[in-house]
Amino acid sequence: MSRLTAFDSSTLSASARNAIAFEKLTGHSMSILFDGGLARAYVWSSINAEEMTRDLLRLLPNTDWIASTCAAALCTSPCTDLISADLSGRVRTMGPRNRMLAIEVLIKTSQDQPSAIVLQFGSADPMTRAIAAACAGEMVNDPSSAAVLEAAFSDPNKWVQYYARHFLDARAAPSDLVRLGSSVLALPSEPWQCLRCRTLNTVDRSSCTQCNVVGPDLEASVQKLAKP
Ligand SMILES: [Zn+2]
């Protein structure tokens, strides 16, 4: 899963520098991680998995596509204890975009994903709740994940409401859950944070006041569920 990829020129040049740094750091080409843009699940059997996991964890607080690719690869790593021990402590120091990727990795590498989703959704941090809601959308037939989505549909934060709907597959979800998501039960009230520059924007803003990056389009996500 790679939810958070976006490009601009500064990101691209930073990414090129990071790709070179990755080769120096690990002795591997970045291509070891790719297969048509997706992380290779089978890579773990042919390398030192612990060493690669540590390298990927060091690269996670990075620019967009590298962080997204590292997160996708980490989600398939067999070294789940190492990931949990490393990320649990420092995830709160990351910016919103990387923090979401890290939370996704923690959920996807958990032995009990439904419980991990519930745990993360209990966070006071809206971006943590948003990615927990997105992960719940992939486990809609689990009762605890469905309960998380129900709560997320009327969360005070716009990102949470958006992520709960945008990543929910209406064809796979129970029809009453889809009906619930296709209406807005409670308008979000908290300022939403820009994923790029971290500015807090008032709930009526559709794009960031500082950098113009588009924010959560709640209306579009509601429409998506109403007309799948
Ligand atoms: Zn911004």
DSSP string, 96-135: HHHHHHHHHHHHHTSSSHHHHHHHHHT-S-HHHHHHHHHH
Bigger pLDDT: 42 vs 225: 225
pLDDT more than 90, % of the chain: 58
Q: Are residues 182 and 90 in the same domain?
A: no
Q: Is residue 38 part of a domain?
A: yes
CB 146 within 8 A of CB 140: yes
Q: Is residue 20 part of a domain?
A: yes
Q: Tell whether 11 and 69 lie within a shared domain.
A: yes
Record the tokens describing residue 57, joined without a space: 């964890």
Residue 134 lies in a domain: no
Ligand 1 centroid from CA 5, angstroms: 16
Least confident segment among 62-66, 139-143, 185-189, 209-213: 62-66
d(CA 220, CA 136): 19
Number of domains in the chain: 2
Residue matched to tokens 């990755």: 22
Query: Tokens at residue 182, please?
Result: 């296709």
Answer whether residue 176 is part of any domain: yes
User: What is the identity of the amino acid at 61?
Assistant: P
In a domain, 126, yes or no: no
What domain range includes position 198?
A: 147-228
DSSP H helices in the chain? 9-26, 49-59, 64-74, 80-90, 96-108, 113-121, 126-136, 143-152, 158-166, 175-181, 218-226
Specify the higher pLDDT residue, 53 or 42.
Answer: 53
Domain contains 141: no
pLDDT band at 25 (very low <50, low <70, confident <90, very high): low
- Residue 22 — very low, low, confident or very high, per pLDDT cuts 50/70/90? low
Nearest in space to 3 (alpha carbons), one of 132, 184, 150, 119: 132
- 56, 87, 111 - which closes a domain: 111
187 alpha carbon – ligand 1 mean position (Å): 22
pLDDT in tens, 68-90: 888 888 888 899 999 999 999 89
Residues 85, 179: one domain? no
Distance CA 89, CA 86 (A): 6
84 found inside a domain: yes
Residue 20 has pLDDT above 80, yes or no: no
Examine the domain organization and report whether 96 and 171 are in the same domain.
Answer: no
pLDDT digit string, tens, across residues 110-120: 999 999 999 99
Mean pLDDT computed over 92-106: 94
Distance, CA 103 to ligand 1 centroid (Å)? 21
pLDDT of residue 70: 84
Q: Which of 86, 111, 136 represents a domain boundary (last residue)? A: 111
Q: From the CA of 134, how far away is ligand 1's center (Å)?
A: 22
Cα 96 to middle of ligand 1, angstroms: 11
What is the average pLDDT across 196-217? 95
